[in-house]
């Protein structure tokens, strides 16, 4: 049984702090990064569109993929240092939302952060990937704010009399 922490750019410090606070001292902590979608596809495609200039070594998509790996490694290292207790790290491949749900099978807890519209509470405060993971995770989920929300005011109640539920 392990506490899983999804480390992603921008949100990992909040997730790591939450794990440090809530994971029981006896639990293993595993930091997860997802290696996908940092833009290398678009750079590679733009290069492919340069008709006739193709020279493999100059493909910016390859350079970005290499830099992306280095950045992910650096992020996981920073996250491990910030956590301040022993942990393991793993980089997942494939579609982020599915890879995370699959990795969470049998986990004690999955820590992730809101990564959508952080200006107000509500469904849009979850990005599409996080939405999918929250909806499909087979384990308990700890969902944290990457920073204090701008407004914590509830939306106005719907008009009309309150519903009476049986």
Partner 1 sequence: MSVQLVVALVALVAVLAVAIARPRHVPEAAVAVPLALALVVARVLPAADAWAELRSLAPVVAFLAAVLVLGQLCEDEGLFAAAGGWMARTSGGSPARLLTAVVAIAAVTTAVLSLDATVVLLTPVVFATAARIGARARPHVYATAHLANSASLLLPVSNLTNLLAFRATGLGFARFAGLMALPWLLVVVLERVAVGRYFRADLAVASGVDVAAGLELPESTPDDDVTDESGERPAGRRPATAPGVAAVVVGATLVGFVVASAVGVDPAWVAAAGALVLAAHALVRRRVTAGTVGRSLNVPFLAFVLALGVVVRAVIDNGLSTAVSTLVPHGSSYGALLLVAAVAALLANVVNNLPAILLLLPLLAGHGAGPVLAALIGVNVGPNLTYVGSLATLLWRRIARAHDSEPGLAEYHLLGAVTVPASIVVATSALWAGLALTGGG
Sign of CA dihedral 61, 96, 9, 26: negative
Smallest distance from partner 1 to CB 166, Å: 38
Q: In 3D, which of 150, 133, 163, 151 has the Cα closest to residue 6? A: 133
20 forms part of the interface with partner 1 (CB under 8 A): no
132 forms part of the interface with partner 1 (CB under 8 A): no
The encoded tokens of residue 38 equal 């940092």
Is the Cβ of residue 64 or residue 107 nearer to partner 1 in the bound state?
Answer: 64
Smallest distance from partner 1 to CB 99, Å: 11
Site for partner 1 in 108-127 (CB under 8 A): 115-119, 127
Residues 6+ apart with CB under 8 A from 149: 118, 119, 120, 121, 125
Smallest distance from partner 1 to CB 41, Å: 4
70 forms part of the interface with partner 1 (CB under 8 A): yes
């Amino acid at each position: 049984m392990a506490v899983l922490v999804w480390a992603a750019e921008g949100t990992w410090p909040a997730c790591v702090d939450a794990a440090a606070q809530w994971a029981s001292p006896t639990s293993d902590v595993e930091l997860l990064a997802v290696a996908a979608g940092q833009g290398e596809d678009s750079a590679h495609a733009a290069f492919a569109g340069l008709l006739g200039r193709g020279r493999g070594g100059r493909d910016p998509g390859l350079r970005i993929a290499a830099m992306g790996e280095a950045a992910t490694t650096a992020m996981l290292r920073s996250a491990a240092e910030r956590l301040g207790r022993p942990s393991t790290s793993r980089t997942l491949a494939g579609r982020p939302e599915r890879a995370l749900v699959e990795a969470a099978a049998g986990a004690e807890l999955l820590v992730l952060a809101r990564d959508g519209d952080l200006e107000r509470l509500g469904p849009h405060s979850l990005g599409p990937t996080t939405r999918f993971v929250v909806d499909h995770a087979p384990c308990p989920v700890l969902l944290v704010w990457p920073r204090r929300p701008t407004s914590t005011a509830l939306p106005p109640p719907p008009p009309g009399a309150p519903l009476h539920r049986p």
